[in-house]
Amino acid sequence: MGITVVGSINADLIARVARHPSPGETLSGEGGEISAGGKGANQAVAAALLGAEVSFVGAVGDDPYAEPALEYLRASGVDLSAVKRAANTQTGLAVITVAEDGENTIVVIPGANGLVTRDYVRDHRGKVSGADIVLLQGEVPASGFAEAVSLASGRVVINLAPVVEVPRDALLRADPLVANEHEAGLILEQLGAGAESGEPHAIAEALLKAGFASVVLTLGAKGAVVADAEGLRDVATPRVSAVDTTGAGDAFAGALCSRLLAGDGLDAAAQFAARVGAHATLASGAQPSYADMDTQLPAC
């Protein structure tokens, strides 16, 4: 059945500013448009655009934000038969501020994503248990996250962003865990572990020692580190002039899963994902910036 994503669907409200405001400061900005987002939806769209068969387990509200939030999921061919349209509920909303250097800050209001609980996931067990890869993030309730892991019979890929408290046994099923340096540090804290230093190889090694079978540690413009029983390897990323980094990490995760599904090893999948993630920074927004199978990706 390909990839099943159990995750969030958001509408993104985007504001552009010269720089991020300091606490208590008001700045003038531009933008205000609504586009499709949510870490789960972003990753599902990224994988589907690259040729993967993708199903989604999630929820939206019955408000005006639902349709723009679903636009790219529909257009990319993601199976939405397990996406609930909840009455009297607000679609998840992300308020995103993008500075001139492309860096962003994001505040997420869960809305209907909070309905993706243990019972809801269990109601759609066939989508989860039949998947070759189950892809999870941190924007749905921990009970739904844990239920998806328990139902999974295929590979479990976890990008615990944001880092929230989830059952230890469920989290350690990740193969791989995909995390940036900040997220990795919080995950180590959650597991009661630590790294010898803040150096990427030390962080990746600490995650392996904590019990993960494999790790992909993303480093933004510095590339990534792949770690598993065979050791640690560096992955290069293309040098690009970023316009907007929103959703680039999600593009990476979706692309990684698309190549794992196609049979690539972790190193080759991560190298491809780095190129897809870099491409996603070249245009504004998350899903509108994603590559498809005809895109000429930047070279490393």
For 74-97, b/e burial (b = at least 16 CB within 10 A) is eebebbbebbbebeebbbbbbebb
Q: Which residues are annotated as a binding site for ATP?
A: 180, 218-223, 249-250
Q: Exactly one of 101, 132, 234, 250 is catalytic; which is it? A: 250
Tell me which residue has tokens 């993960």.
212
88: alpha, beta or left? (left if phi > 0; alpha if psi -120 to 50): left
Range list of H helices, 29-115: 39-49, 66-75
Q: Which residues are annotated as a binding site for substrate?
A: 10-12, 38-42, 139, 250
Integer Cα distance of 122 and 116 in angstroms? 10
Straight-line distance from the first to the last Cα atom of the chain, in angstroms, rounded to the nearest whole number:
32
* 250 among known catalytic residues: yes
Q: Which residues are annotated as a binding site for K(+)?
A: 244, 246, 280, 283, 285, 289
Active site residues: 250
